[in-house]
Amino acid sequence: MKIVSYNVNGIRAAVKKGFVDWLKATGPDVICLQEIKAMEEQVDLDVFTEAGYNFNYWFSAQKKGYSGVAILCKEEPNHIEFGTGIESMDFEGRNIRVDYDGVSVMSMYLPSGTNDARLSHKFEYMNLIQQYLNELQTEKPNLVVCGDYNICHEEIDIHNPKMKGVSGFLPEEREWLGEFIDSGFIDSFRYLHPERQEYSWWSYRANSRANNKGWRLDYAMVSKPLQEKIKRSVILTEAVHSDHCPILLELDI
């Protein structure tokens, strides 16, 4: 099973940049999208069905042009879970999940901490999603939580490890991500590539992408019961439809 996660920074903008052709060429079974910045009715769904994704599910933010997640699937899932049931998380459209026989896949978009108010919201979300996933793992032990976590875990995950005072690399955020992994997840990319330094996001400023001054913010976290099923986990840096690039996970299911 091939799973892709991609913060597209606006699905309509990404489509104009060739996203659909890229999707056809890559051909994941499931693709998790974050920061879609659109309501379902604002998107031409035909381009996805024509690409082979007859089953697509959208969970947008209440605020137009902001946040939002989606999942596109080739095969129909057994169940789709829109949101978490926690209002402070769901009104910004940050979680959607599809369940199959052997695995459940969540597209998650963790908030960024661009100012004090957003940082406070980010920490609240981090606390709530950890509690939610602790309970979910008892019900759905074969779980993949893909998405933009907006946190670099280790120094190897950021081009400048001295940026310890910036949200995304704060000690408290990094500690939380370590505890998240310890709660029963595997960072699939780091599991297979313990020494590889690659990034999934670059600022639009200062020619950061061309100079590879990036951050690894996007993760395919795999619950421990699926550990032996992890076949491949890579960062697809050649895709340029967004300030992020997609990540790809293959499971032997």
Q: Which residues are annotated as part of the binding site for Mg(2+)?
A: 7, 35, 148, 150, 243-244
Known catalytic residues are: 109, 148, 244
Tell me the Cα Rg of the chain: 17
- Going by C-alpha positions, the residue among 85, 64, 69, 65 that lies closest to residue 31 is 69
Extract the annotated binding site.
Answer: 7, 35, 148, 150, 243-244
Strands (E), the chain: 2-7, 30-34, 55-59, 69-73, 79-82, 95-99, 104-109, 143-148, 185-187, 201-202, 214-215, 218-223, 230-235, 247-251
Buried b (16+ CB within 10 A) or exposed e, 133-163: beebbeebebbbbbbbbbbbbeeebbbeeee
Beta strands at 247-251 and 95-99: parallel, antiparallel or unpaired = unpaired
